[in-house]
A and B are shown apart, each in its own frame.
Chain A
Amino acid sequence: MNATTLPHPTRRLILQGAISVALIGLGNLPFGTAHAAANDKYPEEAFRQKSEADAIKALYGKTAEPSDKIKLDAPEIAENGGVVPISVTTTLDKVTSISFFVAENPSALAASYRIPDGTIPAVANRLKMAKSSNVVAIIEADGKLYSATREVKVTVGGCGG
């Protein structure tokens, strides 16, 4: 979480709340703050794909290249697989969308955000993860796709030293 991207921590929390609600499955409703700028329809087909590659293809119709201009923050080991805090920021220009994929989830696409012109490209959300997996952030910038990947471990816990 980067407190500098938005001036008011409280406002940031409320925004995150809105995003979490969207993720729980009210997908067809208008997304409010996070999705307000999007005028294209809900990407049903992409959310239905099992694999990460198929979901990226369905969402964007092209492939991404890894970029070191993306900063993907995720815990090494999740404290609660049900709500894993994952955030992304980037120094790439002309960002139009940011999407998150959890490779090992039953359906890989977890969330996709339209970034309106003039918005700071920073998204923090919480993803539900059934098990250890790579988490991939895809950023669409100036018509091209870029990616960053982090491994997040989801463990049964216990047995600490």
Chain B
Amino acid sequence: MAIRRRDFLKGTAVAAASLGLPRLARGSDAASVYDIERFGNARILHLTDTHAQLNPVYFREPGVNIGIGEMAGRPPHLVGRAFLERFGIRPDSADAYAFTCVEFEKSAGRFGKLGGFAHLKTLVDRLRDDAGEARSMLVDGGDLWQGTGLANLMQGRDMVEVANLLGIEAMTGHWEFTYGEQALRDNLERFKGEFLAQNVFLTEEAAFNDARAFDKASGRVFKPSVIKELGGHRVAIVGQAFPYVPIAHPRRFTPDWTFGIREEELQKHVDALRNTDKVDAVILLSHNGMDVDLKLASRVTGIDVILGGHTHDAVPQPIAVKNAGGTTLVTNAGSNGKFLGVLDLALEKGKLSDVKYHLLPVYSELLKPDPAMAELIGRLRAPHVTDWSEKIATPDRLLYRRGNFSGPVDELICTALRTELDAEIALSPGFRWGITALSGQPLTMEDVLAETAISYPETYVQEMTGSQIKDVLEDVCDNLFNPDPYYQQGGDMVRAGGLSYTCTPAGTIGSRISELRLASGKALIAGHRYKVAGWASVNGQQGAPVWDVVGKYLRSGRMLPERLGSGVTLRGVEDNPGIAGQG
């Protein structure tokens, strides 16, 4: 611990001296990383996409996060050293470890795990104390209830208890919807904060059948916003749920609800908050994803700040976007509990005159876990901890998920699917949650669940023609690289096992994927049928849950094959700073 502490200090002190980052400027003691200079009269703390990771985790940020068209080379589409340069972070520092993939394994040993709700609780309480009474608020951008075996088993009930103790006052959702309406409503009964979503409406059939809604006239299923008194001013928080829930997930979970970005309804609501409710500031708590938020900020007026999530981009500074009514700041606050966004507001009558924003890495080594939260986490985990702590493998390499096209975690899942289900090709979803496991450290069933725990985990084996397979790749690739962010869903490229291909991200749908080859090197033939295994299908499937398939494969003592690599050759992005080592 003493050595670690010195490591943090070294990194921060040098960064402060050379680059003058305000948060790091007073580094006489490691804990002072969290001393933030007083600013303004109100503070909003923002968590997002924690994916239910109760305890601190390792999480490697992506080495590939390509932006195309207008998004090329702009945050969040910067990785590795290009990211460090853009944000003035010193390589080799604790912040470089938290925000990028640069020398991840080496730094993991020095700086340890990040996040954890007991650590977050300590940090949140301290930052709220600093702000003063009735001057702060804690909000969560969603994906709070999903991501672990425990959360999946309890359908998010564990996280509601944790959220109440942490003091979350408002949240919106994404994976929260994948437990279905009943489980969601049961959880919200227990949740002490507000669940906000301006963009979820009853379908016309459901409205006709008089289904439950917050507001029958508009058909809004949930409360769209809440007004909070902060430092003597009125601040509106508007919720924006993930716009594509029934498309990205099985429709059966939300049959009565229709989503979408709903720009027009949002504009009307913001105008009403400004003109009728006379609020002093409007904040959008968004699960759109950063590219979508950046576009939305250029088109919708009257929003001061968008506190964003979904795309798991840890962006240290807000991006200012001009629109017809002024400027909107857009943030994105990373994932897995690694970061806490701190938005300090200087509020005046009818306006927000200035803000300061910090995205604080939650260094578990620097924060004393809050005893009450630690006790709650222990109690929630207790019934399952023995079952899930069994060591089932020891990885021979770093296992991480993030990256536009592939990562060792998904290579492992695809290999397990192909082997256990005897398929030529495996397809695995491009999720962005899931922990990182270090080489040589024991891997448990709990770790496997942290990569796979969803409410539709059933595996499948089916025959697909070569052209169907290409169509799937083209379709998902367009969700990732469509030049118009409103046509993107977030998430990464579907992972392919036993299949290599060339991808031209700047192409158009139908022309991005080429040179598809099987593991044998043979070209994929459009009219041939291939045996394909997969999981997380939006159609109902009957196979064993994917975690059992992966668990079985690992228990047999096998890991990844010698030859590693995504099998994806990229074309036309040679200078793109969204690829580590480039740009």
Contact = CB atoms under 8 A, between A and B. Distances in A.
A161 B204 contact: no
B489 A77 contact: yes
Contacts of A73: 264
Contacts of A132: 509
Interface string B246-285: 1111010000001111001000000000000000000000
Interface in A21-58: none
Given A158-B248, A161-B432, A1 B491 contact: no
B260 A13 contact: no
Interface in B456-487: 471-472, 475-476, 478-479, 482, 486-487
A155 B479 contact: yes
Contact of B492 (A151, A158, A161): A161
Given A76-B261, A159-B429, A159-B479, A9 B207 contact: yes
A160 B174 CA distance: 9
A10 B207 CA distance: 9
Most chain B CB within a 10 A radius of its CB, from A9, A73, A76, A78: A76
Count class of interface residues, chain B: 35 or more
A123 B526 CA distance: 42
Contact of A159 (B208, B246, B491): B491
Contacts, number: 92
A157 B249 CA distance: 7
A158 to B, nearest CB: 5
A157 B247 contact: yes
B499 to A, nearest CB: 16
A155 B311 CA distance: 19
B534 to A, nearest CB: 9
Contact of A155 (B207, B247, B537): B247
B509 A79 contact: no
A68 B290 CA distance: 29
Contacts of B260: 75-76, 79
Interface residues of A, number: 24
A161 B261 contact: no
A160 B455 CA distance: 13
B293 to A, nearest CB: 14
Nearest to A10: B208
Contact of B242 (A1, A9, A75, A160): A160
B425 to A, nearest CB: 16
A161 B430 CA distance: 7
B244 interface: yes
A97 interface: no
Contacts of B259: 79
B246 A158 contact: no
Interface string B15-54: 0000000000000000000000000000000000000000
A4 to B, nearest CB: 11
Contact of B249 (A76, A80, A85, A160): A160
Nearest to A152: B487
A16 B203 CA distance: 13
Contacts of A76: 260-261, 486-487
A128 interface: no
Interface string A63-81: 0000000000101111110
B52 to A, nearest CB: 15
A44 to B, nearest CB: 30
Nearest to B430: A159
A132 B208 CA distance: 29
Contacts of B251: 79-80
B310 A161 contact: yes
Nearest to A13: B208
A153 interface: yes
A80 B433 CA distance: 26
Top 6 nearest A-B pairs by Cβ distance? A160-B248, A161-B491, A161-B490, A159-B429, A157-B538, A161-B432
Interface of B: 174, 204, 207-208, 217, 242, 244-249, 251, 258-261, 264, 289, 310-312, 429-433, 471-472, 475-476, 478-479, 482, 486-487, 489-492, 494, 509, 536-538
Given A155-B247, A158-B429, A160-B247, 12 more contacts: A13-B208, A73-B264, A76-B487, A80-B251, A156-B471, A156-B475, A158-B249, A158-B538, A159-B492, A160-B490, A160-B491, A161-B492
